[in-house]
Amino acid sequence: MSVQDQIYLTTEEAAGYLRLKERKLYDLVASGGVPCTKVSGKWLFPRAALDRWLEAGLSRPEGMQPVSPPPIIGGSHDSLLEVAVRDSGCGLALLAEGSQAGLDRLVRGEVAIAAIHLHATPDDDGANPAAVMAESGLHDAVVIGFARREQGLLVAPGNPLRLTGIAAAVEKQARFARRQKGAGAQLLLESLMAREAVPSQAMVLAEGICATGQDLALTIRTGRADCGIASRAIASAFGLDVLPLVWEHVDLVMRRRTYFEPAAQSLLGWMRGTAMAARARELGGYDLSRSGAVRLNR
């Protein structure tokens, strides 16, 4: 089988494919500069990912334009972002799959913008820019602050189990609604549990995975779960109580060329107007002090 027919390449094959010495390839692996994975102590290199990595660093002659990604915002669902996309008339569609999924799609050129709220630790304001910096395929990325929002532990109206936080919820065997792996809310839950030394095996998990914060709120509202992490705006929309946990950054990640395109400029223009502030007050749980600010320009 030729290299062109293989999905994963060995170190020797990848070095030959990239026309590099193996030592240089190992240096790139050590610095996180090349897409790869380790299986049973052996490095493997996805050939398609290597192709995208090469194309991302391609120097293009003047007048040669890269293929534009589809006009989609992937990643995290956010109530205010949903309003912004609709009311700005930007023409972008929303694909809510979770923060990491959106970032992965941006790297692959499957979305124009990724909405992310990632967590290394609960109070880490730099998690989003750090995640973008770690992506070698996003060497030309811009991170724009959309809003800070309040995340909390959502519970049924009146808080019938008298929960006071995550540790208490685990101790009382409350059923937790879960988000998918890589979703910002799930990463936040995991980081909070680690900070409070709550063992994950002690949690009681509600059946199924919630694709969005709205799905999670509905699961609690219908009695299929007792609690779960989502934004204050979601809690208000579904008539749920919320125990405040943290304020987090929701950021928009795009390539520099996307930033200057009409769709992105329409969205950013709406964000600078008075309508966004008004809608944020209506939804509740938003801080717009850094909305529109450039948080990273690679």
Q: What pLDDT is recorded for position 151?
A: 96
Q: Please tell me the least confidently modeled range out of 1-10, 38-47, 227-236.
A: 1-10
Tell me what the mean pLDDT of segment 231-239 comes to.
97
Q: What is the tens place of the pLDDT at every residue in 77-99?
A: 999 999 999 999 999 999 999 99
Residues 44/9, Cβ–Cβ less than 8 Å: yes
Tell me what the mean pLDDT of segment 149-178 comes to.
97
Q: What pLDDT is recorded for position 174?
A: 97
Q: What pLDDT is recorded for position 51?
A: 78
Q: Which residue has the higher pLDDT, 3 or 68?
A: 68
What DSSP assignment string belongs to 136-147?
GGGTTEEEEEEE
Please check the confidence at residue 31 and state whether its pLDDT lies above 80.
no
Q: Which of 121, 123, 122, 103 is nearest to 113 (CA)?
A: 103
What DSSP assignment string belongs to 115-173?
EE---SSTT-TTHHHHHHHT-GGGTTEEEEEEEEEEEEEEE-TT-TT---SHHHHHHTT
The token duo for 275 is 């309508």
Q: What pLDDT is recorded for position 32?
A: 75
Q: What pLDDT is recorded for position 7?
A: 80
Give the Cα separation of 247 and 125 in Å (integer). Answer: 9
Q: What pLDDT is recorded for position 186?
A: 94
Q: How confident is the model at residue 136 (pLDDT cuts 50, 70, 90)?
A: confident
